[in-house]
């Protein structure tokens, strides 16, 4: 199953009329105006996906900020986006797919294999000189059937047992990993034994993913080519991007959905600081 689709392939599919559901997952931490940005300009035919309400369950004590939605809720949303069984879904955003990768992971986890990330997202579409449109796009309600449990995931109990996971990657920025700056969660630092692996380093300056060989070298240097790998971030959003990058590199990895927002608010769990 391919992870990425480039702009040329997407354009060819659109011209040929191949059944493609385009989903715009415009979201960034600290910017609540994703839907507004979508209405101003998006790839023609793309449907807006609200990450906070459609790709997450409500947060709460001991759950983290962005818990995974349950299977029924995700299926209901997917049908509203117009997805039928057998469609190809292409997700994108305007931040190097840091948000869209959450949708990619959720649909893969729900047993929907034909979902791809538009490499470079909206920026790549614009760089190719292609038109955007404004307003709101809606499709007829789809009939897709989704389940759950098709992608590996780990919990806190898995991470506190050394025999369960061999390598834990922290996808947050280095200063958050080291505990120098924590803008959101109550404790600064990282899960003891984790390795700093900022998601931003998966990308080229233009927002496209690095090549398979580059990513393989990166993750090999982090020790992620040996044993069982788990990934976390602040709340489980950008960790999915790291898993997509690992997938491009040919490495399977498990998501820790609660991530640091769950670990740091759970009593009795240790916290490490520094490099």
188 falls within a domain: yes
pTM higher than the cut 0.95: yes
Residues 6 or more apart whose Cβ sits within 8 Å of residue 136: 39, 48
Do 115 and 26 lie in a common domain?
yes
Report pLDDT digits (tens) over 182-241: 999 999 999 999 999 999 999 999 999 999 999 999 999 999 998 999 999 999 999 999
Cβ contact 88:18 at 8 Å: yes
Mean pLDDT of the chain: 96
pLDDT for the residue 206: 97
3-state SS class at 262 = helix
Spatial separation of the C-alpha atoms in residues 21 and 88, rounded to whole Å: 6
- 169, β-bridge pairs: 195, 231
Range of the domain at 170: 156-263
State whether the Cα torsion 63-69-73-77 is positive or negative.
positive
- What's the structural domain count of the chain? 2
Do 117 and 189 lie in a common domain?
no
| Residue 76 pLDDT greater than 80, yes or no | yes
Do 119 and 163 lie in a common domain?
no
Residues 6 or more apart whose Cβ sits within 8 Å of residue 101: 91, 117, 238, 240, 241, 243, 244
Over range 46-71, report the average pLDDT: 94
Cβ contact 69:106 at 8 Å: yes
Six token digits for residue 211: 């090549």
Six token digits for residue 50: 């609200």
Cα-flanking dihedrals φ and ψ of residue 21, to 5°? Answer: -100, 115
143 falls within a domain: no
| Residue 162 pLDDT greater than 80, yes or no | no
User: Which residues form the catalytic set?
Assistant: 233
Report pLDDT digits (tens) over 132-155: 999 999 899 999 999 999 999 999
pLDDT for the residue 219: 98
Domain boundary among 107, 127, 147: 127
Nearest residue to 231 via CA among 275, 171, 173: 171
Six token digits for residue 9: 């392939």
Spatial separation of the C-alpha atoms in residues 159 and 137, rounded to whole Å: 42
144 falls within a domain: no
Spatial separation of the C-alpha atoms in residues 274 and 177, rounded to whole Å: 7
| Residue 20 pLDDT greater than 90, yes or no | yes
């Amino acid at each position: 199953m391919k992870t990425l689709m480039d702009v040329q392939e997407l354009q060819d599919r659109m011209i040929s009329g191949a059944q493609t559901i385009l989903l715009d997952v415009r979201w960034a931490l600290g910017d609540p105006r994703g839907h507004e940005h979508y209405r101003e300009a998006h790839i023609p035919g793309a449907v807006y996906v609200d990450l906070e309400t459609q790709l997450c369950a409500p947060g709460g004590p001991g759950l983290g900020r962005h818990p995974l939605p349950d299977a029924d809720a995700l299926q209901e949303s997917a049908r509203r986006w117009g997805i039928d069984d057998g469609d190809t879904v292409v997700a994108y955003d305007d931040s190097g797919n840091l948000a869209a990768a959450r949708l990619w992971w959720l649909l893969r986890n729900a047993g929907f294999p034909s979902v791809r990330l538009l490499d470079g997202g909206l920026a790549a579409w614009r760089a190719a000189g292609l038109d955007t449109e404004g307003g709101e796009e809606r499709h007829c309600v789809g009939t897709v059937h989704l389940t759950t449990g098709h992608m590996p995931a780990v919990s806190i109990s898995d991470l506190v047992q050394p025999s369960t996971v061999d390598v834990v990657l922290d996808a947050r920025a280095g200063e958050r990993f080291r505990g120098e700056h924590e803008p959101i969660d109550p404790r600064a630092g990282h899960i003891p034994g984790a390795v700093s692996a900022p998601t931003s380093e998966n990308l080229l300056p233009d927002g496209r993913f690095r090549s398979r060989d580059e990513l393989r070298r990166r993750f090999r240097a982090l020790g992620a080519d040996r044993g069982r790998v788990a990934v976390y971030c602040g709340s489980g959003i950008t960790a999915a991007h790291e898993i997509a990058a690992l997938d491009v590199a040919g490495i399977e990895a498990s998501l820790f959905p609660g991530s640091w927002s769950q670990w740091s608010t759970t009593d009795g769990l240790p916290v490490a600081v520094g490099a």
